Amino acid sequence: MIVLGVDPGNEGAFALYDHRRRELIGVWDMPTYKVTVGKPRVISRTKPALAKAVNAEHATMKAKSRNKIDPVGVLEIVRFCKDQGATLAVIEDVGARPGQSGMFVFGLGCGLIQMACVAEELNYELVRPQAWKKAMKSDADKTAQVPRANLIFSGQRHFFTTKRGTDRPDRAEAALMARYGAEFLSERGAA
C-alpha cells in the first residue's frame, strides 16, 4: 500500500510512503507563489479628488509579499503520487483556535488539497492531529516530530532537514501521517 501524507498550510508538506517497502518514496514542500499585498488603489469617477488623495497616501505604504498555495502545484504533486500507486491520502484536519489569524487561508489550502484528491480520484481521510500523534507515539509539539520521524525513518533523515541542517517539522508530520494511514487506516478499510 502506498499512502500520501499531507501537512496542509503555506509551510506544509507532502510525503509519499510505500508500506510494503517500509520507506518514503519522496517528500515535497507545499507549492506556493508570492503575491504583493498592502497597496490598495481607489478609483472613483464621482470624487476623483478624494481618490487622488487616498491613492497618494497609499503610495507611501510599504507593500508586503505573502505566500499563497499554488493550486496547480498541489494538483501536480497529487497526480504524481497517484501515478506512483498511492491509494489513500491522509490530510491533517486542523480546526481554528481562539485568536488565531489566517484560518481562511489555511482552510482554502485544505480545500485545494481535497479537490486535487477528488480530481485524481484518490481516496482521502481527514485525521485530527491528536489521533495520528497518539497512534504514532508522537508528542503534541510540532518540533518533536523531527526526532520521531528520524527514529521511524532512520535511513531517510535527509527528508526532515534542509541542506543547512534546519529541522523541517512539516515534512516530518507529513511522513508520520502517511505511515499512520498505512498502518491504521488500511485496517479500517479506508483505502
Q: pLDDT by residue (tens digit) across 61-71?
A: 666 778 889 99
Whether residue 124 sits in one domain with residue 44: no
**Domain limits at 18?**
2-31+70-188
Residues 27 and 85 in one domain: yes
The structure's pTM equals: 0.82
Contact 4, 88 (CB under 8 A): yes
Domain boundary among 11, 41, 69: 69
Same domain, 89 and 7: yes
Own/partner long-range contacts of 147-155 (Cβ < 8 Å, ≥24 apart): 148/172, 148/176, 149/173, 149/175, 149/176, 152/176, 152/179, 153/23, 153/24, 155/23
| Cα gap 115→118, rounded to integer Å | 5
pLDDT digits (tens, 9 = 90+) for 158-176: 999 888 888 999 999 999 9
CA separation for the pair 71, 135 (Å, rounded):
31
